[in-house]
Amino acid sequence: MNNSSVSLVCYSLLFFSICLSALATEFLFNGFRDAAKNLSMDGAALITSNGVLQITNDSMRQIGHAFFSSRMLMVKDESVSSPALSFSTTFVLDIITYNGSGGTGMAFVIAPFIPLSRVESGQFLGLLSTQNNGNVSNHLFAIEFDTVDNTRKYIDFPDNHVGVDINDIQSVVAVPAAYHTAELKNVTVNLLGGEPIQAWIDYNSAAKVLNVTIAPFMLPKPYQPLISLSIDLLPIFKEYMYVGFSAATGKFTSYHYVLGWSFSTNESAPNLTLSELPLPPRKKVNSPTSRIGTVKSVLVSSLITLVFVLFLFLVSKYLRNQRKQSENLEDWELEYPNRFPYKDLYRGTKGFNETEVLGSGGFGKVYKGTLWHAKKQVAIKKISNTSNQGVREFIAELSSLGQMRHRNIVQLLGWCKRNEDLLLVYDYMPNGSLDTFLFDDNRSTNLSWNQRFKILKDIAFGLVYLHEDWEQVVVHRDVKSSNVLLDAELNGRLGDFGLARLYEHGKNPHTTHIVGTVGYISPELSHTGKATTGSDVFAYGILLFEVACGRRPIEHTAPSTQVVLIDWVRECHTMNKLLTVIDPRLNENYDKEEMELVLKLGLFCSQSIPEARPTMRQVTNYLNGNDILSDDVVFVFSKENSLRLNSQLPYTSSSKDGMSSTSLSQGR
């Protein structure tokens, strides 16, 4: 063979090696209807007709395996002790039993070879056996969802637990199956409950930390994992590994199902589209026929009467509900997009039931709801309006605001008008508003300084989008801590656009009645009556003080005495005692430079002269460290306290929950 042929072969082998290493770094199955060609299954495993991956059925002493057929690159290079790659996977499992005692569980598995050999059913979950259990040569990693209840030596928990298995069926760590709510409450999850459960498994190779999290189907991923384990998986993983599932039955049986699955190395696994996942088939459970026959013979005559009465009751109830959900649309309402049918909002809030109330104020109430057609949780603000003046103009602006899209803005999804009620539909924020973290003494959790600083930057980015980046200038007019909402990951989002005003870039805003919340209204509004982006900057400055000091803009220390936050901060700054205003709940756990920046930036934003204030884009540059706020900057304040001036202004005030009302008849 000549040199050119040798070179061609070498380059071909190199190209094949590169292609092989690039295979199978990520996949996503929203159901498994067309996934048979991508899976390697053995034992009892199969794909049902509607696309559910079934690992076992209700036969005793049974094993089932289902693996992704392509190998995954888990270690960059075994020969030089490269770190194991990070990986992330999420899947929805469902364990269904019909005999009252399930068994024995299932596991997510990473193994060097398939099919798995020398394995046993029952307590070994189809992973290992008495011959090889505990051998380091297994190179086997598994997260078990164990439902067995016995006392054999390999069982590390009585039942209903989640464990991490390394080459051994006895877990290195095992905890009862549960999830943590946003309030850090531990809620038990019954693995044998027959309902789908979503699981997230994330390994960070740099930090060498493994996180395992579970939650009931359709709930968002909990902020706190169920298991967080410091572990180096490099000794466990080979260069290439297979990922999949294993399940087994013993004396008792269960159907073990997987409804959807995604996996990725070096980044987060793709999100499953939960609304597209198929559900497992359900087997009818037979009842004793002798007793049923006796009951039928006794009740048959009574049932006819009861059915007729029930029919009349249901018809009457249906007609009442139809009247409650009815609506008469005016012609102009059909001109504007993003309108929700009233009946959808009525049903989604269980008839605006008091159990669904998230908050209330002078404007009305906010309800937690579900849009059933989209399977999406929302917050519905119900505003009781006594005048139709300005409603059409207001809805026109709402329809325009509904087109905004930004990660730090709570999206206004739409609106609905029925009689005198106006309903605004927003994205639901599971962690509520920032002010409850700052001021609610009953809340068990406290925001760290890093979390507070991140939220302040989030809101600044959101205001830049409103003021400069969207197609029109949007002045929010009610920036405050109660309108800063937190999503499941505690990202800050600016919400409640009931008072927002829009005008074209380069144009001047119109004069309007003064609305907002006492303590946040900029002093120039009493003279000009024009809400500008500078008004929002002033309110953002007060928000900076709230977050840093942990105090409300105005606090009443006695019946006739009040502490005005902005005056207090200004006075401490003048006396060179600026850091004495810091929230004591931080316990001095904060970055001094960041804290000084936030406080001085608050003074910069809350200056009496609007032209002296920075723009929100300048604010983001300061917060990101792109620009330096000079120590020589001179803050301009009027002699007359701007916040005391606020107390003399006509305004649309907040109620006890801090959510501002909307005045359709006053300046919209």
Give residue 140's identity as a one-letter amino acid code.
L
110's tokens: 């990473």
| Whole-number Å distance between alpha carbons of 88 and 167 | 20
**402 in Cβ contact with 338 (< 8 Å):** yes
Pairing of strands 240-248, 186-188: unpaired
Type of residue found at 626: N
Tokens of 474: 């949007």
Query: CB 200: neighbour CB atoms within 10 A?
Result: 19
Backbone angles phi, psi at 585, to 5 degrees: -70, -15
* CA–CA gap between residue 113 and residue 163 (Å, rounded): 22
If we measure between CA atoms, which residue out of 331, 166, 159, 189 comes closest to residue 236?
166
CA 566/CA 548 separation, integer angstroms: 12
**Nearest CA-CA partner of 596 in 580, 618, 612:** 580
Angle at Cα 355 formed by Cα 349 and Cα 356, nearest 5°?
Answer: 40
Instruction: Report which DSSP code applies to 332.
Output: G
Contact 596, 578 (CB under 8 A): yes
Was 600 annotated as part of a binding site? no
Q: How many CA atoms lie within 13 A of 269 on its CB side?
A: 25
Is 165 assigned a catalytic role?
no
**Residue spans of alpha helices (H) in 434-578:** 434-439, 449-464, 525-528, 533-549, 565-574
* Cα distances (angstroms) measured from residue 418 to each of 349, 351, 363, 388: 15, 14, 16, 12
The one-letter code for the residue type at 438 is L
User: Which tokens go with 226?
Assistant: 């169920």
Phi, psi of 430 (to 5 degrees): -65, -25
Task: Answer positive or negative: Cα dihedral of 351, 355, 356, 360.
Answer: positive
Taking the mean position of all CA atoms in its chain, how far away is CA 1? 62
Selecting among 202, 478, 496, 583, the annotated active-site residue is: 478
What lies within 8 Å, CB to CB, of 193 at 6+ separation is none
3-class SS shares of the chain: helix, strand, coil, % to 5: 30, 25, 45
Residue 27: CB partners within 8 Å, gap ≥ 6? 38, 68, 261, 262, 263
Containing 245, the helix (H) or strand (E) segment is strand 240-248
Asked if residue 201 lies in contact with residue 89, where contact means CB atoms within 8 angstroms, the answer is: yes
HSE-CB for 583 with a 13 A CA cutoff: 24
> Which residues are known to be catalytic?
478
Which residues belong to the annotated binding site for ATP? Answer: 382
Which residues belong to the annotated binding site? Answer: 382
